[in-house]
Structure 1
Amino acid sequence: MMKNKPLALIGAEVGEGASDSGCKWGARALRERGLAQHLGEARRDARWVDMVGARPEQEVQSRLDSVAEFSGRLAHVVHRQLRSGAMPVVIGGDHSCAVGTWSAVADAWRGQGDIGLIWVDAHLDAHTPATSDSLAPHGMPVAALLGHGAPGLTSLYGWTGKVKPGNLVIIGARSFEAGERALLDRLGVRVMYMPEVDRRGFAACFDEALALVRRHTVAWGLSFDLDALDPADAPGTGTPVEAGIALVDAVQALRGCAADPECAAIELTEYNPLHDVAGRTAQSAFALLSSITLPVAQAIAA
């Protein structure tokens, strides 16, 4: 009989990767609103195990240096929870935290096979320093995980290419630049842009993405940027983009997906409490995480 892994909530306190650093306080704000208790009401064993904070930019040479140093420490915490048998649930923080999260997952499974990753986001996050005008690291984690970009982001654990292009699917993109799209096109990454999501529905897109990322892998994970949602449901993000995914559609489609024994970790990013309106984005984050981490028995019955 399948057992529910305990949920290890990990705060990724990083805003140094973004132009607006308010996302740095997202995990702490959700903790103070009672996220662990909320998940516990759904009969999940959920507890905060660590809050990993980035060093301010003035203490290092650049934002890239700050994120690179932070990524190594976050990866260590995620790796430790994986070894303990828990499911890491990383709460960001700007989306540069994904470098640490998924580098750790990839390294933990390296001797057994590859990992898959579903990336739900309004942006492609596939810039390298050569294509980014802003040099903001939160626009680079996808490229870094694919092995392209600054060595401090690509080479955690001493190896690159944590996620193979065929094992990555991006859903919901609607704001991006030519350079990052060109990289993903060249590598053959499956991207479901927002017009496709509108046409087919988020549930159909997610089902296809899940089939793709499970096809040639031993484990998979979900990285969900709150700016993928429509700003009506999630106004409090670092970079909101109009005409996004409806919260109700995401909640229904993601119901119980972490109950899959091959699901290794979950990540929710870009909550900016400084821009939230009447707590709507925090409530959306709670709803998403409650749905994603629904216990096995309830997910099967749903």
Structure 2
Amino acid sequence: MNREAMRRMRTPCPLALIGAEVGEGASDAGCKWGAQALRERGLAAHLHRAGRQAHWAGWVQAPGARDAAGRLRAVERFNAELAQRVLAEAQSGALPVVVGGDHSCAVGTWSAIAEHWRPQGDIGLVWVDAHLDAHTPASSPSGAPHGMPVAALLGHGTPGLTSLGGWAGKLQPDHLVILGARSFEAGELALLTSLGVRVMYMPEVAQRGFAACLAEAVAQVRRHTVAWGLSFDLDALDPADAPGTGTPVAAGIRLADAMGALRACAADPACAALEVVEYNPRHDSDGRTAQAAFDLLAAMTEPGPVADPPREAGRTCLA
């Protein structure tokens, strides 16, 4: 390896795996036990074998609830606690990796990352999902909070989700890109359209290729931000590769394409956190989806050379 290549290698941050035990945000609550199932299958050991220092840094569990109002309150309380856990790990110099759990946990994850970087500037986020997740309680047909995190992070919805940490608008619309969407309702589409959020729907991803779309998305969310992150809902994958989710949608991203494109995301010093969610062990009888989650996380966190970060970005654990 030449000197220039060695210079561009970064010492990887330790991975702080955080179990997000929440299913109250979803119609099918089985994903509440997704993180525990992945732990029991040996996720940390798998990442060690892939060359990363990884440990389970904590667990946050949502309180049980029965009716819609109770579920929303449970998700709000859960996200406030999750945000504190993620913020602590970010402040310690580790790379938070949130493992869920329904996608409502993203409110806590990215509120914490936005809070951590707030003194220096805005964060960006690439959101890979079969759904837009941009409902508010007023627009949602189901009232399920896991369909609301994008709207909440943009500052729209119930104050218990939008204003974690005492402030709203954790994401600016031009610092967010959604990839792979193919199932959504008019209300959430109208909100994102009005805000000008870039959405790469699945037909575009299929035509251009996931790698090209991801590269464009990362470039956009890195622009004019100090850090960025990736939130990956397993239902973005084609059900042939990942049947074990609560809301599978046909004609999705193929696992091999995702793994190839996502390699070494965490090696970028401007990458502030990762999130993989919606693993539902109830629907994964053959372990195929668990293996997909393992493979995706190993690819995302693979050490490797990356381009120099933007001048204003970076983490404390650079070589």
TM-score, with structure 2 as normaliser: 0.92
Find the residue that maps to 2:24 and give its secondary structure. Answer: coil
Q: 1: CA distance between counterparts of 2:138 and 2:18?
A: 31
Q: 2: CA distance between counterparts of 1:61 and 1:243?
A: 33
1:156 matched to 2:164? The reply is yes
Partner of 2:302: 294
Partner of 2:313: none
Residue identity over aligned pairs, in percent, reads 70
Which of 236, 257, 272 is 2:265 aligned to?
257
Partner of 2:195: 187
Q: C-alpha deviations, 1:82-102, integer Å up to 9, x for none?
A: 000000000000000000000
Q: 1: CA distance between counterparts of 2:144 and 2:293?
A: 24
Contact 2:19 2:59 in 1 (8 A): yes
Contact 1:126 1:180 in 2 (8 A): yes
1:65 matched to 2:73? The reply is yes
What does 1:1-302 correspond to in 2, within 5 Å?
A: 2-58=10-66, 62-296=70-304
Q: Which amino acid aligns with 1:288?
A: L
Contact 1:202 1:249 in 2 (8 A): yes
Contact 1:3 1:296 in 2 (8 A): no
Find the residue that maps to 2:274 and give its secondary structure. Answer: strand
Pairwise CA distance, 1:296: 2.9
Q: Which amino acid aligns with 2:150?
A: V
Q: Which amino acid aligns with 1:170?
A: I
Find the residue that maps to 1:123 and give its secondary structure. Answer: coil
Pairwise CA distance, 1:277: 3.4
Contact 1:60 1:66 in 2 (8 A): no
Pairwise CA distance, 1:60: 10
Q: Which amino acid aligns with 1:56?
A: G
Q: C-alpha deviations, 1:226-247, integer Å up to 9, x for none?
A: 0000000000001000000000
The alignment's C-alpha RMSD in Å is 1.3
Q: Which amino acid aligns with 1:253?
A: A
Pairwise CA distance, 1:59: 10
Q: 2: CA distance between counterparts of 1:30 and 1:54?
A: 18
Contact 2:68 2:143 in 1 (8 A): no
Point out where structure 1 has 5 or more consecutive residues left out of the alignment.
none
Q: 2: CA distance between counterparts of 1:4 and 1:189?
A: 31
Find the residue that maps to 1:296 and give its secondary structure. Answer: coil
Q: 1: CA distance between counterparts of 2:196 and 2:159?
A: 22
Q: 2: CA distance between counterparts of 1:296 and 1:44?
A: 11
Contact 2:68 2:144 in 1 (8 A): no
Poorly superposed stretches of 4+, deviation over 2 Å:
58-61
Q: 2: CA distance between counterparts of 1:39 and 1:112?
A: 31
Q: C-alpha deviations, 1:230-289, integer Å up to 9, x for none?
A: 000000001000000000000000000110000000000000000013100000000000
Contact 1:235 1:277 in 2 (8 A): no
Pairwise CA distance, 1:58: 4.7
Q: 2: CA distance between counterparts of 1:223 and 1:58?
A: 27
Q: 1: CA distance between counterparts of 2:110 and 2:32?
A: 19
